[in-house]
Amino acid sequence: MLNILAIGRDMAILQVVERLINGHEGWKATIVSTEEEAVAAFGEAKFSIVFVCAGISMDEEEGIRRRLQQLDSEVVVTRHFGGGSGLLENEILSILNSKL
């Protein structure tokens, strides 16, 4: 199972991201809206990818990356663009390709 965490401020968009990820066999999404929730989620599961979504600034993203990679140095923390529609699957496949 590929566990993916999405963090953002727009819960309606995050729910679409969650639905799209979970619609793919072998992928499972967890959605959170704060850094603290993301840290808590890391205590519950091992995530391969963290998508930083709308509402999170570049500075916040850097802080989230630093903190989560201290918890798991292998996790990929990257920006998701587009709100789920069109690019999400491509972004995941690109990350998986780069890890091969």
- CB nearer to another protein: pick between 16 and 39: 16
70: buried, middle or exposed (CB in 10 Å: 19+, 13-18, 0-12)?
exposed
- Gap between the Cα atoms of 9 and 19, Å rounded: 17
Task: Kindly state the greatest CA–CA separation across the chain.
Answer: 33
Size of residue set near another protein by CB under 8 A: 24
Binding mask 32-71 for another protein (x = CB under 8 A): ---------------------xxxxxx-------------
Enumerate binding residues for another protein (CB under 8 A): 9-10, 12-13, 16, 53-58, 79, 81-87, 89-90, 93-94, 97
